[in-house]
A and B are shown apart, each in its own frame.
Chain A
């Protein structure tokens, strides 16, 4: 089993990635954001634990039409398809264009202002909790 990301692997991955993540619902297909490009190398480099299942899956679908490849791999080797799907979806959702389309800025910095009165205090929401009174059982007398 080859573990090099050569042109054939890249092409096979691109094809099956487009079955898993097609152009639909206003979103681009996986290949439109180059999931088969340098980000593929980066992901396999960061997650070498995925390599064996990824390459096993890619090797198993050689020559098959992409839709058939996805269905057959899902039935015969779901772990391999899961690895391919994880690589594809990780690469996809890392792309700035995709993140912009789904409204995700990433795990952004957004510190609060500790000197600001919280909204739930200012609008009386928390006071309702206080008005309901204590809810704990005290330590029983010895």
Chain B
């Protein structure tokens, strides 16, 4: 790859998607002097658009700022067909991608996550280890401005986050007291929200509205952490650009992409290298749409695994309410404390792998009403409304459980034969069912979480065995590996079938872990793009 040899209008690198991984890649390549073009189907979001600091917050959280694109129904979203799925995929399409609406739980995977086959005899090992990725975790902590406390005994010794932890509040203290009574692990949760002003971003003021956008310009979303520097270094960002196909030449090398702008015009962007960063649903959708005579089953899909092994992290929860006021609307939301007490495999439990737990606040009074849908009139309304609000509001919190789901080829993203987006492109269809291992895991963890709530002193509890709107974490649909017959890309995100096509997002995950994945998505993207930059002279490109 050499800028001196390329034609005018041909970028060194084209990146599709301006979310977590795409933003890291754009920033590093632009800083290294590459000409970079990024196509993003969404637009820019201004922090003033968020409602977290306004009385209408909860009202707007249920529609305009809902994480489910089928609920938001914006033109820059594409619909997802979910009738054959236990879980709805969640995402946001904009500069910054889903980090606009993520909770900013900034987690690392644990060492065992990269060696599931070796340790547990299921799934596959990753082509690298925790130790290989650790320096990139460290670097991303600094780039994002992570607030947390070093020394967590759930991890090998390592560097502490760059900023002190955010307060855990009354709910975190209450939960921690319960865990200590039981002798169980807990630790202040790491959050990608700065506990003091950091690199142009404001201090997190604990509004607790991370999941609907941060009006404070505090949360580490990629539009703030990476795009200002990327643009300063000359990266070209084209918004409203919905890619319909990655193009290839007669030698099977990627040549760029065709996209549709918001005027409905079809445009072409040529590049020497193409990096797809469109998330675990958008990336396989694009690969499957990019069919050609040379790649009749979709691009980079000789393994047949593009779109397969979708993992979305089933999410269960136990909510507890307490006699005393806990100010449980206060952030971070974000997480206050976390637990990995039941993370590692214990075969005696009847399942393999485990889950991370976290304590999150319970929001305002209107959100609580959502649980009353379908209940009898006098139970949901009338004097009972006031009684239930008084009993629960401000006095409750949730132990949320992120269950590791293992890769299954039957869980997949395919192209829907009839549903399309606003440009007439085939929408993704999600086929996703929880396995017996997952059901057993959730059952076990819910039982333990109820014990934790009881130990904390909860006077009443409610259990959510599986939340349907929980597919924040989209992983596995273009998995990495060393065997081209059993994986789509190698450990550097390079497609086995197309040497100048890369994938950097959560699609490349081999297993899902039980952790929020954005920190790992970014660390993998950082590791891969640094390798690409270091090996630029060996990079094959289209003639």
Q: Does A7 contact B (CB under 8 A)?
A: no
Is there an interface contact between B330 and A110, defined as CB atoms closer than 8 Å?
yes
Known contacts A71-B377, A93-B365, A119-B173; is-contact A49 B63 (Cβ 8 Å): yes
Tell me the minimal C-beta distance from A102 to chain B in angstroms. Answer: 6
A46 to B149, CA, bound (A): 41
A65 to B173, CA, bound (A): 49
Is there an interface contact between A120 and B188, defined as CB atoms closer than 8 Å?
yes
Q: Does B164 contact A (CB under 8 A)?
A: yes
Is there an interface contact between A140 and B168, defined as CB atoms closer than 8 Å?
no
Is there an interface contact between B163 and A114, defined as CB atoms closer than 8 Å?
yes
A110 to B58, CA, bound (A): 19
Is there an interface contact between A108 and B344, defined as CB atoms closer than 8 Å?
no
Q: Does B136 contact A (CB under 8 A)?
A: no
Tell me the minimal C-beta distance from B534 to chain A in angstroms. Answer: 24
A46 to B131, CA, bound (A): 49
- In this complex, what residue of A is CB-closest to B151? A130
Is there an interface contact between A102 and B390, defined as CB atoms closer than 8 Å?
yes
Q: Does A60 contact B (CB under 8 A)?
A: no
Quick one: which of A36-82 are within 8 Å of B by CB? 42-43, 46-47, 49, 70-71, 74, 78, 82
In the complex, chain A residues whose CB is within 8 Å of the CB of B366:
89-90, 93
Tell me the minimal C-beta distance from A60 to chain B in angstroms. Answer: 15
Quick one: which of A72-130 are within 8 Å of B by CB? 74, 78, 82, 85-86, 89-90, 93-94, 102-104, 106-112, 114-115, 118-120, 125-126, 128-130
Quick one: which of B192-212 are within 8 Å of A by CB? 195-196, 203-209
A115 to B180, CA, bound (A): 25
In the complex, chain A residues whose CB is within 8 Å of the CB of B208:
107
In the complex, chain B residues whose CB is within 8 Å of the CB of A33:
none
Is there an interface contact between B209 and A118, defined as CB atoms closer than 8 Å?
no
Is there an interface contact between A104 and B59, defined as CB atoms closer than 8 Å?
no
In the complex, chain B residues whose CB is within 8 Å of the CB of A136:
110-112, 153-156, 340, 343-344
Is there an interface contact between A111 and B204, defined as CB atoms closer than 8 Å?
yes
In the complex, chain A residues whose CB is within 8 Å of the CB of B151:
130
Known contacts A47-B59, A136-B111, A139-B111; is-contact A102 B383 (Cβ 8 Å): no
Q: Does A1 contact B (CB under 8 A)?
A: no
In the complex, chain A residues whose CB is within 8 Å of the CB of B62:
86
Q: Does B186 contact A (CB under 8 A)?
A: yes
Q: Does A8 contact B (CB under 8 A)?
A: no
Known contacts A21-B381, A114-B195, A120-B173; is-contact A139 B115 (Cβ 8 Å): yes
In the complex, chain B residues whose CB is within 8 Å of the CB of A20:
381-382, 385
Known contacts A24-B382, A125-B176; is-contact A139 B153 (Cβ 8 Å): no
Is there an interface contact between A137 and B177, defined as CB atoms closer than 8 Å?
no
- In this complex, what residue of A is CB-closest to B387? A25
- In this complex, what residue of B is CB-closest to A95? B55
Is there an interface contact between B180 and A107, defined as CB atoms closer than 8 Å?
no
Is there an interface contact between B344 and A135, defined as CB atoms closer than 8 Å?
yes
Q: Does A9 contact B (CB under 8 A)?
A: no
Is there an interface contact between A118 and B167, defined as CB atoms closer than 8 Å?
yes
A60 to B419, CA, bound (A): 33
Q: Does A27 contact B (CB under 8 A)?
A: yes
Looking at the complex, which one of B173, B206, B380, B386 makes contact with A109 (CB distance below 8 Å)?
B206
In the complex, chain B residues whose CB is within 8 Å of the CB of A111:
203-206
In the complex, chain B residues whose CB is within 8 Å of the CB of A24:
382-383, 386
- In this complex, what residue of B is CB-closest to A130? B153
Tell me the minimal C-beta distance from B51 to chain A in angstroms. Answer: 9
In the complex, chain A residues whose CB is within 8 Å of the CB of B364:
93, 104, 106-107
Q: Does B92 contact A (CB under 8 A)?
A: no
Quick one: which of B359-409 are within 8 Å of A by CB? 364-366, 369, 373-374, 377, 380-383, 385-387, 389-390, 393-394
In the complex, chain B residues whose CB is within 8 Å of the CB of A139:
111-112, 114-115, 129-131
A11 to B130, CA, bound (A): 64
Is there an interface contact between B386 and A74, defined as CB atoms closer than 8 Å?
no
Known contacts A20-B382, A43-B59, A136-B344; is-contact A112 B390 (Cβ 8 Å): no
- In this complex, what residue of B is CB-closest to A93? B365
- In this complex, what residue of B is CB-closest to A109? B205
Is there an interface contact between A104 and B394, defined as CB atoms closer than 8 Å?
yes
Q: Does B33 contact A (CB under 8 A)?
A: no
A135 to B344, CA, bound (A): 8
A133 to B330, CA, bound (A): 31
Tell me the minimal C-beta distance from A49 to chain B in angstroms. Answer: 6
A70 to B382, CA, bound (A): 11
Quick one: which of B106-164 are within 8 Å of A by CB? 110-112, 114-115, 118-119, 129-131, 147, 149, 151, 153-156, 163-164
In the complex, chain A residues whose CB is within 8 Å of the CB of B164:
114-115
Tell me the minimal C-beta distance from A52 to chain B in angstroms. Answer: 14
> Which residues of A are interface residues toward B (Cβ below 8 A)?
19-22, 24-27, 42-43, 46-47, 49, 70-71, 74, 78, 82, 85-86, 89-90, 93-94, 102-104, 106-112, 114-115, 118-120, 125-126, 128-130, 132-140
Given contact pairs A70-B377, A109-B216, a sample of 14 additional A-B residue pairs in the complex whose CB atoms are under 8 Å apart: A46-B60, A86-B369, A93-B364, A107-B53, A107-B57, A107-B364, A110-B205, A111-B206, A125-B176, A128-B180, A130-B151, A134-B153, A137-B112, A140-B115
Residue pairs across A and B with Cβ atoms less than 8 A apart, 10 shown, are: A70-B381, A93-B364, A93-B366, A103-B394, A108-B207, A109-B216, A120-B188, A137-B119, A138-B111, A139-B114
> Which residues of B are interface residues toward A (Cβ below 8 A)?
52-53, 55-60, 62-63, 73, 110-112, 114-115, 118-119, 129-131, 147, 149, 151, 153-156, 163-168, 172-173, 176-177, 179-180, 183, 185-188, 195-196, 203-209, 216, 325, 329-331, 340-341, 343-344, 364-366, 369, 373-374, 377, 380-383, 385-387, 389-390, 393-394
What are the 7 A-B residue pairs with the smallest beta carbon separation, nearest first? A24-B383, A25-B386, A112-B167, A109-B205, A114-B195, A94-B55, A20-B381
